[in-house]
Structure 1
Amino acid sequence: MKNIKALTSDEMKQLRHLIATTDNSILRRRCQCILYSFQGMQVNELVDMFQVDRRSIYNWMNRWNQGGLEALIDKPGRGLKPKLSLSCQDHVEKVKQAFQMYQGNYYRVLEHVNTRIPQPVSHDTLRRFVKKLMVSGV
């Protein structure tokens, strides 16, 4: 079984500080796991405690050993990217143009938008985008 063997007092303070202050529940769990492992808890006990797969526990420990606290923090840019974005002026213009051309016919607007952007969007995606567009006042 694998455990965290060495933690300095500064590292333990940093981990405890993050556990107490961070809003990121995933990071908090990872920090707790590292501390518990250092205190002698076995991987099986950590799996039961955190209700995650054994591989996740090993991944957290490997990340800690390779890069410390910084390695436990998720990097930005993960996850599914939006198909329509307010920051993309092209998307905003195409949706506005479609609504001007097909006033009152939402399905024609959707069809128009889908023929002019690289990734087709669903009715719900377009509806959410339009709602954001109206709230932002763009």
Structure 2
Amino acid sequence: MRYVTRAHCLILASQGVKKRELMNIFRISYKTLYNWFNRWELEGMIGLYRTYLISFARSRKIKAE
């Protein structure tokens, strides 16, 4: 349920938590944080969830081989 983590991060950001603090809380890099914010801005909640769906599809493909 990584999309829940991403949503939680965005909520904290909207409440004024600094980027550096978010990186520490969620143990993510600046690049990852940037990607989460960018997906949110471009696609909304679907953008956060879509990464989960892509990962799920890839894992199923690997298992099928």
Please classify the TM superposition score into its range, dividing by the shorter chain length: 0.7 to 0.9
2:28 corresponds to = 52
Residues in 1 aligned to 2:33 and 2:11: alpha-carbon distance in whole angstroms:
12
Larger radius of gyration: 1
Residues in 2 aligned to 1:29 and 1:66: alpha-carbon distance in whole angstroms:
18
Report deviation, 1:28.
1.4
Aligned pairs for 1:1-138 (under 5 A) are 24=1, 26-73=2-49, 74-76=52-54, 77-79=57-59, 81-82=62-63, 83=65
Which structure is higher in helix share?
2
Identity %: 27
Residues in 2 aligned to 1:38 and 1:45: alpha-carbon distance in whole angstroms:
13
Residues in 1 aligned to 2:41 and 2:53: alpha-carbon distance in whole angstroms:
17
Structure 2 counterpart of 1:81, one-letter code: I
Report deviation, 1:39.
0.9
Alignment gaps of 5+ in structure 1: 1-23, 84-138
1:57-116 deviation per Cα after TM superposition (whole angstroms, max 9, x unaligned): 111100000010011012242336122xxxxxxxxxxxxxxxxxxxxxxxxxxxxxxxxx
Report deviation, 1:40.
1.0
- The secondary structure found in structure 2 opposite 1:40 is coil
Report deviation, 1:46.
0.3
Number of equivalenced pairs: 59
Alignment gaps of 5+ in structure 2: none
Residues in 2 aligned to 1:46 and 1:78: alpha-carbon distance in whole angstroms:
28
Task: Between the two structures, name the one with larger relative contact order (CA 8 Å, sep ≥ 6).
Answer: 2
Superposition misfits of 4+ residues, deviation over 3 angstroms? none
Structure 2 counterpart of 1:34, one-letter code: L
